[in-house]
Amino acid sequence: MTEPLIVAVPSKGRLQEQTLAFFERAGLPIRQARGARDYFGTVDGLTGVEVQFRSASEIAREIGAGNVHLAVTGIDLLHETLGGDDGTRVVAEEAPHPAHIVTRLGFGRADVVVAVPQAWLDVQTMADLADVAARFRLKHYRPMRVATKYVALTRRFLTAHGVHDYLIVESPGATEGAPAAGTAELIVDITSTGQTLVENGLKIVDDGVIMRSEAALAASLAAPWTEAARAACRGMLTRIAADDRARSVRRIDAVMQPSSVLPEELRARTDLTLLSLHDEGLSLLVPKARAQTEAEALIARGATTAVVSSVEYVFAAKNALYEKLEAKLG
């Protein structure tokens, strides 16, 4: 039996809901045969794919181990789990090996930040924090404590900013409460709005944003990419790309004389796609943000009507998502 393409998705919470909605919208509905408590699933209409429901942190580890081919997880978790703590700079646009970010999903957005007590009036920047850390041991006879779930990211970021004398306090619970509870002097945590930090008497250091994270569809370059797995992946990414393209464009159907518009002029514009040109008019795909402007321009060129509409999917011969992955796989 051919080994399936294994796709890992979050097993609970808002991230799971948004992930399932993302695949549904792309024409890849995920079904659990035994209901919501089933930790395995399939994709309707696509054979050779096994869906596994896992915790968000477990997913990042499975990508690193090559036990899954594709997965949805936070970019912050990829860097925390796979990036190490050697002091190198965190680049959120990339993924640590062996992960490859296929596409960002636009949900689950949050920042990993360094936050200190609001009472620390003399700490505005990471340079200020480095000075405080250097003086802290002399005054208190112990290192400054940093509460966090992001041990590797914290070490890399603090080292890169010259903060060396500190102690990591791993925080499995509500990290933002650690300074008030007296278990840490500052924290590194993830936040969407920063409001919870403010409510706990904390402030984000001006240059203390470690990374801006969001959910992403990631691939494991360490997984066994058989021809069957690649074919199934190509099928999934074709639909995802078609959905993504459709949401970024609008279709314009204009009633006008062909002589009113030059086909060469339209074909020369890289931001437009000419779908058809006939005796009664033409059909175009245009960037969503320019749809009204382009429709008005066609009216000015002699069109009697220009109808702007949404499209469900836009399939194309080239699939940049899969081609980039294939280039990485070799």
pLDDT > 60? residue 296: yes
In tens, the pLDDT along 60-106 reads 999 999 999 999 999 999 999 998 655 555 656 678 999 999 999 99
pLDDT tens-digit series, residues 172-187: 888 999 999 999 999 9
Sheet order of strands, 5-10 included: 30-31, 40-43, 46-54, 5-10, 70-74, 215-220, 99-104
Residue 263 has pLDDT above 70, yes or no: no
Task: From 12, 8, 30, 2, select the one nearest 239 (Cα to Cα).
Answer: 30
pLDDT in tens, 185-197: 999 999 999 999 9
DSSP state of 12: S
- In angstroms, rounded to a whole number, what is the distance separating the alpha carbons of residues 111 and 115? 11
Q: Are 106 and 190 in contact (CB under 8 A)?
A: no
For residue 125, give every residue at least 6 positions away whose Cβ sits within 8 Å of its Cβ, in sequence order, or none. 205, 206, 207
CA-to-CA separations, 251 to 30, 247, 305, 328, in angstroms, rounded: 29, 11, 13, 34
| Residue 255: pLDDT over 80 | yes
**Burial of 234 per CB tally in 10 Å (0-12, 13-18, 19+):** middle
Q: Give residue-wise pLDDT tens across range 111-150.
A: 999 999 999 999 999 999 999 999 999 999 999 999 999 9
**Domains (range + CATH), the chain:** 5-108+214-224 (3.40.190.10), 110-211 (3.40.190.10), 249-309 (3.30.70)
Tell me, what's the pLDDT at 80?
A: 95
Which residues contact residue 276 at a Cβ distance below 8 angstroms, ignoring those fewer than 6 apart? 282, 283
Distance between CA atoms of residues 322 and 100, nearest Å: 11
* Per-residue confidence (pLDDT) for residue 90, from 0 to 100: 61
Residue 246 and residue 264: Cα distance in Å, rounded? Answer: 24
So what's the pLDDT on residue 220?
Answer: 98
Q: What are phi and psi of 42, to 5 degrees?
A: -130, 170
pLDDT-derived band at 37, boundaries 50, 70, 90? confident
Percent of the chain with pLDDT over 70: 95
The closest alpha carbon to 4, from 296, 314, 227, 310, belongs to: 227
Cβ proximity of 133 and 163 under 8 Å: yes
pLDDT given at position 260: 61
Residue 87 burial (CB < 10 Å; 0-12/13-18/19+)? exposed
